[in-house]
Structure 1
Amino acid sequence: MAGHYVIAGKKIPNHILSMGFIGAYAGAYALYALKPKPAQPATPPIQASSSDEEAFIKEFLAKAEAEESK
């Protein structure tokens, strides 16, 4: 039979230790991969030189989205 380690007075076979390590590693990766991502803004920020320009851009985008949904 394969070797073993004595942990807390019990003989633990090597294959059990390796399966436990692989399971813990996979579980840690699953927790990392399934962690919720921060929400991304729907559109990039509008960098206008004046408030009139920003209002015009927002109005234009609203009209374009309304046209697109038709």
Structure 2
Amino acid sequence: MAITVSAAVLLAVILLILLRGGSLRLGPALAAVAFGFFLASTGIAPTLTNAFNAVADAVRGINF
């Protein structure tokens, strides 16, 4: 759960930076948010969650 919240916060910060920088307009940003919201309620949501968790586990396993 902590990874999901962290990813959501990171993506929100990126979205705000793109909006403030003028690289992204409000309309497309809202469309992307709506797409993500509706995608989360489909059957592919558990697969995406598992994929993101696997990537997070792989990154966490890297020793510097």
TMscore range, shorter length: 0.3 to 0.5
Higher strand residue share: 1
Q: Greater relative contact order: 1 or 2 (C-alpha under 8 angstroms, separation 6 or more)?
A: 2
Structure with larger Rg: 1
TM-score normalised by the chain length of structure 2: 0.36
Structure showing the higher helix proportion among its residues: 2
So what's the TM-score if we normalise by structure 1? 0.33
